[in-house]
Structure 1
Amino acid sequence: MMITTDNDLTLRTITLEDAAAVFALTDASRVYLKEWLPWLDYTRDIADTTAYIEGCIKGHETNSSLSFVILFKGEIVGITGFNSINPNNKIGTIGYWLSEGAQGHGIMTNTVKALLQYAFEVLRLHKVEIRAAEGNQKSRAIPERLGFVKEGTIRAAEWLYDHYVDHVVYGLLVSEWQQQK
């Protein structure tokens, strides 16, 4: 499946064929990403990335998650999607990461806009959440820019190598999204 936002930016469902490119991007971005993402030490080779993608595919098959590669000008520059989809409560949680070199082009803002449209129009979700580490201003800027409501902070939500970080939870209801359109 593909979601095209403009001529330069496309989201495509992640596949096993993406393993080498995703691992190479991860490896090249390792120091940059490690500041806020806890899984870098567990992604040591292409087999680890392949196992991650296999998990993504299982999530697709069970409708519990949906993962995309972010393509900018035809190149994979990051990963995004719904880390979880709760069909009973109609809530999806968006996650994302972008390589350092792809920053500053509006890629993630446009990516999340496209995911919101997909969430509310195709998946028929009632609410979308984004959670980000309290100190991660770049990640937090996305939901703040897109009109999400800051719902609260989860203390010590994630172990980040040698310390816990709090998560700020943002939410956007379908009715709020419709008002923004």
Structure 2
Amino acid sequence: MFTLKEFQLGSRTIRLELPEESHAKALFKIVENDREELKKWMPWAKTTKHLRDEVNFMKYAREQMINHHLFMLTILCNDEPVGMIDLHEIDPIDRHAQVGYWLSSQYQGMGIMTASLKQLISVGFGRLNLHKIVVMADSVNEKSKAIPERLGFIHEATLKDDVYMNGDFKDLDVYAKFADEDMHHS
């Protein structure tokens, strides 16, 4: 187990750890439990049908991390895996990356994801030397959009009909944060 960050949120201990196969069972259980909600926003929620799919994803994530294409973390609350957060499409030349995240419905509304994204931003701008971090959220996913808004991301654009999901075209809102402004505001 490799813990990148550990912090307190009220009485809860939150840890951000590199993904391990030992996390797969708990994460798969959440996917099963929240599948209908997750399917609205996450294409992978349809294809993650068995525990082995989650285990295989953990292996894939580790390979992508070795190649520096992905930086993924499991979010644990009081030692229980409750979701994931990542930087993907990492571009070391243009120094930008996109954020992805999801959290168990039972742990939403507690500030866990906002605090986790804040930690990930510090890693992105610090250790990974990124200049720009982007969050793309479905335009109607208010909960997801509230997270970058709380952390001072700028709404850069709305991409019309940018993804085709569940038989429909969806608009994506693009939020961005830049390293130089983050240094001044933290």
Check whether TM > 0.5: yes
What is the Cα-based RMSD across aligned positions, in Å? 1.2
Residue 109 of structure 2: aligned partner: 104
Residue 80 of structure 1: aligned partner: 85
- Residue 95 of structure 1 aligns to which amino acid in structure 2? G
* Alpha-carbon shift at residue 72 of structure 1 (Å): 0.9
Residue 3 of structure 2: aligned partner: 2
SS for the counterpart of 1:92 is strand
* Alpha-carbon shift at residue 5 of structure 1 (Å): 4.1
* Alpha-carbon shift at residue 51 of structure 1 (Å): 2.1
Q: Does residue 1:121 correspond to 2:122, yes or no?
A: no
Distance of 2:161 and 2:112 partners within structure 1: 29
Q: Does residue 1:132 correspond to 2:133, yes or no?
A: no
* Alpha-carbon shift at residue 92 of structure 1 (Å): 1.6
SS for the counterpart of 2:110 is coil
Q: 2:174 aligns with which of 158, 169, 176?
A: 169
Residue 11 of structure 1: aligned partner: 16
- Residue 46 of structure 2 aligns to which amino acid in structure 1? D
SS for the counterpart of 2:173 is strand
Distance of 2:170 and 2:179 partners within structure 1: 29
Deviations 1:29-51 (A, max 9, x none): 11221222222111110121122
Residue 163 of structure 2: aligned partner: 158
Give the share of equivalent positions with the same residue, in percent.
Answer: 30
Any conservation in 1 of the 2:24–2:51 contact (CA below 8 Å)? yes
Distance of 1:62 and 1:160 partners within structure 2: 29
- Residue 6 of structure 1 aligns to which amino acid in structure 2? F
The unaligned stretches of length 5 or more in structure 1 are: none
Any conservation in 1 of the 2:136–2:172 contact (CA below 8 Å)? yes
Query: TM-score w.r.t. structure 2 length?
Result: 0.92
Deviations 1:60-94 (A, max 9, x none): 11001011110011111101111221111111211
